[in-house]
Structure 1
Amino acid sequence: MESMDRTPIRLTQYGRGGGCACKIPPGELEEVLSGLPQLSQNLVVGAEHGDDAAVVALDASTGVVATTDFFTPVVDDPYTWGRIAAANALSDVYAMGGRPVLAVNLLCWPRETLPMEWAAEVLRGGADVARAAGCPVGGGHSVDDAEPKYGMAVTGVVDLDRLMRNDAGRAGLPLSLTKPLGIGVLNTRHKATGEVFPQAIAAMTELNDRAGAAAVEAGARCATDVTGFGLLGHLYKLVRASGVSAVLHADAVGYLEGARDAVEDGFVSGGTRRNLSWVEPHVDFGSLGEDDRLLLADVQTSGGLLVAGEVPGAPVIGELVPAGPAAITVR
């Protein structure tokens, strides 16, 4: 689509942030959520540790997993954005060790600014990913909004004996990461330049279903997905909730092609810088340089799973250790 002056309209220019970079900063969010009461004795996982989804016990063995996730455009192609947003929302269920059973759409659309045909493409992308996950989409809700946003509310089920949560880590467990980092800086470059990065799209649209199932089968009971707060932010939340510390081996962390170039060229979002500022007081970086620190804090959209345990095929990037002076030590 083009505007009256023949300038191509780019979807990412209609969002102040992009993808999970539009999240409220973690420190501010924790202040908002602090002190909220738990309303049900059957609530197995709530908001107390910032886990990926809520879980309520249906009976002695089965839990219902509930989550929602939506965000502004992270790429210019509407169909691809829909696929990414759906994969990201479904990931919360996989991070809990669960299986999604129903999704509903959440759509905000500037109907007088952007064509409704694009909205249809966003929904089609979400439906295709949900179909690949074996999860039906049962409608949803839409509003006329100045800024486009899309995502899903997802309901899943989980075997309570195989539930993964972020407060179940213990010293001695290795840490596995199932996707490489660098999605955020590549998305920031895409928004600024229009350059398309197929490697970032492939990572964001890859479902975490197999990784979640593999982690559960390997006996993992502690995991989280790496999204808006970056690897360091999500790892910090995990070790804090579990009452342990972590050693992170920086040279074991994988990155998407072009990620380091993007950081060196200055394509770093405000969300990534806020992530780093939030975790810095709790991390011993040693001699690690600024670019590497930013990459470890890089905002991820539909990132991989961070698992306390070994996951077949995923690199081990560190280990949990007894609580010490620093929540995270980078070596």
Structure 2
Amino acid sequence: MDFLSQCTSGGCGAKIGPNELAGLLNELPVFTDERLLVGFDSSDDAAVYHLSEETALISTVDFFSPMVEDPKTFGRIAAANALSDIYAMGGEVLFALNLVCFPETLDKKYLSEILYGGAEKLKEAQASLAGGHSIYDHEPKYGLAVTGKIDPQKIIHNNTAQPGDILILTKALGVGLIQAAVRGQVASKEAEKAAIQSMERLNKYAAEKMRKFSVHACTDVTGFGLLVHAAEMADTKVTLVIDTEQLPVLPEAYHYAEEFLATAAGERNRQFMAGKIDLTSVSPAYQELLFDPQTSGGLLLSVAPDQAEACLKAIQKEDPVAAIIGTVCERTMDQPLIIL
């Protein structure tokens, strides 16, 4: 029985749409704990819990079904994706717990390889594997519950960009489009390899560099695509001006967008942003890139203008595709959250 054939969807493209989630979360009963510094109310990347003057815990969880044929590669990608939220908050990863769903009828060698791939990324992150939980399910799924730490005074939120800031994106876009092309058997080996390398890449290295600069806001770009994550960063307080010509794009992703290869998650992202952004100046292909769901995508940073170039150069030493993609402006009442 084939590993990937068990799955009807995969990667961050399998996420429930932002419109649906917002309605569900708003109906939950809430207990307020003053030590909970960051909860789900702000759509931030992870929860933060205050322990002492010097230390707060960061907690996040992420898992999904496979989007690639090789189980070990899937394990690496899923682990890199789950760790990313800690990095986006400016934190240091401490340990993680495995989350596993696996078909009873599928060869357990696949499970062994998934777990091995995940462990490889945890070792690279210098994070301990501390256990986990597994169940039988109709589809294989894998991810991590991750705990990190941070100085409470140094938390980087996703919605605290300041006017004048410069926007930096650390990974190229187009993962979802390339994976759609792979499923349609029209992707080149070069494009598929580039997408896998990007998904496996830890945001650890860019995060280590950004801590040395005045980064006012940060988020990782995942299943909601660049535009929805950018809208969360704007948060009705500022307007983000994005230059689409400066966006780093994975090889052939734009071509696949021109060929009308789209994803269901990308369409959900488009529907969420309907009426919130003017797309008339953007080609249909670039629109697909902006809405494209990114599995284990890069960090979107809002950096003080006098430090942005130095921050970019530092990041580019290990993540050369990183690029300045726009600016942050004061928002007036009649302005959209994002201008393209």
TM-score, scaled to structure 2: 0.91
Q: Does residue 109 of the first structure (1) align with residue 109 of the second (2)?
A: no
Counterpart-to-counterpart distance in 2, 1:269 and 1:65 = 31
Q: Indicate whether 1:274 and 2:282 are aligned.
A: no
Paired residue for 2:215, among 213, 217, 220? 220
1:153 aligns with 2:153: no
Q: 1:194 to 1:286 in 2, by over 3 A?
A: closer
The root-mean-square deviation of aligned C-alpha atoms, in Å, is: 1.4
* Secondary structure at the counterpart of residue 284 of structure 1: coil
Q: Does structure 1 residue 42 correspond to structure 2 residue 35? A: yes
Which letter maps to 2:185?
T
Distance in 1 between residues matched to 2:146 and 2:296, nearest whole Å = 15
1:132 to 111, 124, 135: 124
- Specify the alignment match of 2:327 in structure 1: 319
Partners in 2 of 1:137 and 1:185 — Cα distance?
A: 32
What CA deviation, in whole Å up to 9, does each residue of 1:57-100 have, x standing for no partner? Answer: 11122110000000010101000000000000000100000011
| Aligned amino acid, residue 214 of structure 1 | K
Secondary structure of residue in 1 paired with 2:219: strand
1:285: how far off?
2.2
Query: How far did 1:279 drift?
Result: 1.1
- The one-character-per-residue Cα deviations of 1:94-132 (angstroms, maximum 9, x if unpaired) are 0000011000100000121x2110011000000001000
Decide whether aligned partners of structure 1 residues 97 and 146 sit closer, same or farther in structure 2, where only a CA change above 3 A counts. Answer: same
Compute the displacement of 1:38 (Å).
Answer: 4.6
Partner of 1:29: 21
Secondary structure at 2:94 match in 1: strand
| Percent identity between the two aligned chains | 38
Q: Which residues of structure 1 form unaligned runs of 5+?
A: 4-8
SS in 1 for 2:61: strand
**Cα deviation digits, residues 134-168 of structure 1 (max 9, x gap):** 00111210010001110000000012222111121
Q: Deviations over 1:186-242 (max 9, x none)?
A: 1122223285511001100110011112122112131000000000010001111x6
Pairing of 1:136-285 with structure 2 (within 5 A): 136-193=128-185, 196=189, 197-240=192-235, 243-285=237-279
Pick aligned residue for 1:306 from 293, 300, 304:
300
Listed as ranges, the gaps of 5+ residues in structure 2 are 317-321
Q: Secondary structure at the match of 1:221?
A: strand
**Mapping of residues 88-107 of structure 1, within 5 Å:** 88-107=81-100
2:79 alignment partner in structure 1: 86
1:294 pairs with 2:288: yes
TM-score using structure 1 length: 0.93
Do 2:240 and 2:327's aligned partners in 1 also have CA atoms closer than 8 Å? Answer: yes
Q: 2: distance between equivalents of 1:50 and 1:161?
A: 20
Deviations 1:261-298 (A, max 9, x none): 22123321100111112113111224211111111110
Q: Which has the higher mean CA deviation after the structures are superposed, 293-302 or 259-268?
A: 259-268
Alignment of 1:74 with 2:67, yes or no, is yes
Amino acid at match of 1:236: A
